Structure formats: structure tokens, C-alpha cells
Amino acid sequence: MSTRANKLIFKMTVRKGFLPAHVAEVGVYRPAASNIYDFIQAGIRCTLVEPDPASIEHIRQCFAANQNVTLHPVAVYDTNGKLELIHRGASTFVANLASSPAIVNDGYTLDHRDKFTVEATTFDRLDDGTIDLLSVDTEGSEWFVIKHMKSRPAIISLETHGAAYVNHYLGEITAWMRQNNYRVWYKDKTDSVFARRDRIAVTFTDTLRLASMDLYLALRRQRKKLQRRWR
């Protein structure tokens, strides 16, 4: 994810002439890294979800004066209760995941000293049904957010890939998107952004750009695999 303001999702949404009324982000990390930072600054109602205590403190300090921001200091998962996470900074992930960017791309091996425990909840407990733009970056557990979602946002951004990494639940995500009338609008180096067919018009130019990015990502993934094989 970019660590600058003027995030791509904000610029692309503005270009479409779409003005969301309620934006949500699950997995914020630090304020400057927030994918919806520009929406916050624009005064749009924003819901943030972040489980890491250090990040929570940074978020609270940064957005204390923003009355449009609601922060939920919890993890979103498939069940409610206690959940173990592995602390890897921006790549912090759920301990029992089979795959995450830190594991696949960084070669991380489990160190129990990196574990910490947080409260977890299913997303339906946080979602009031009005979210119309959602960004999720939870390092491999994105599926558990949309699986329990009440809202049907016009735009959904999920971390689905990156270097050699492919989201373990991509099949479930793709099937859910198809069943709920979404298509891929565009991709960047780590995220796929889906648009609801009845809310966002995907143009021929959008399709060409997506095809170009898909080719780039496939070539990069193949290069990463070859590099790992010859190490």
C-alpha cells in the first residue's frame, strides 16, 4: 500500500464521479498508510478497524479532531473472541493462516516471540449496512471480512496478490464477487479493486489497463519464482 496521501483509490473514485457517503477500512496500520486517508481529509464518514495497539495509538492521535472517523480497536476474523496475531509491522497477520505476504514474499518463519493476542469479531458486528466503499488489507484474511459483510459497497479493495504471493482465499473471494454482481475494475501491485456492476461503469479503457496490469503481475510472479528457485 502507498504511504502517501492522494491514494490511487481516491483518485480513481473521483474520476468516476462517485462520491461515497460511508467509507471503511479494515487493517489500517499507521494513519499515513491508510488507503482511505484522502476520504478522511475530505470529511466523509469513515470507519477504521485496526487491532495492533501501537497502530491504534497513532490513529487516535492523528484523527482525534476528525469527528467523521470511528475507530474499532479489534481484529476482524471468522469467529468472535481471542485471536493470535504475528507482529510483522505493516505485514502483521493472523497466526493460524496457511499463507500471508510475510510468509511467501519475505520467507518469514514462525517465531513465538512475535505472537500477541487481541480481541476479534466478525465484520457483521461492525457493519451497519451503509458502507459504500470498503478497503481491506489484512495480510491474508481479507475473505473473512467480506464473508460476514452486511453492506454491498459500490467499490471493494482487497489485497489479493503481491510479488510471488497470491491470496489463499482468492477462489472464495472471486466466487463471492461473481455471486454479488461485482467485477474487477483495476489492480495495482498488491490490491484488486472490485466495482459493483450497477454502481460503477467499467469502460473499455479500464479493461485494457487491467489486462496490461495482469500481464505485468504474471511476469513479476514468474520472475520471483525463478529467483527463489535459484537462491
pTM of structure: 0.94
Which has the higher per-residue pLDDT, 60 or 222?
60
Please state the domain extents for the chain: 8-229
pLDDT at 2: 40
Model confidence over 67-101: pLDDT tens digits? 999 999 999 999 999 999 999 999 999 999 989 99
How buried is 183 (Cβ within 10 angstroms: 0-12 exposed, 13-18 middle, 19+ buried)? middle
Whether the Cβ atoms of residue 114 and residue 89 lie closer than 8 Å to each other = no
Model confidence over 202-224: pLDDT tens digits? 999 999 999 999 999 999 988 87
Q: Under CATH, what is the fold of the domain 8-229?
A: Rossmann fold (3.40.50)
How buried is 200 (Cβ within 10 angstroms: 0-12 exposed, 13-18 middle, 19+ buried)? buried
| Percent of residues, the chain, with pLDDT higher than 70 | 96
pLDDT at 231 over 70: no
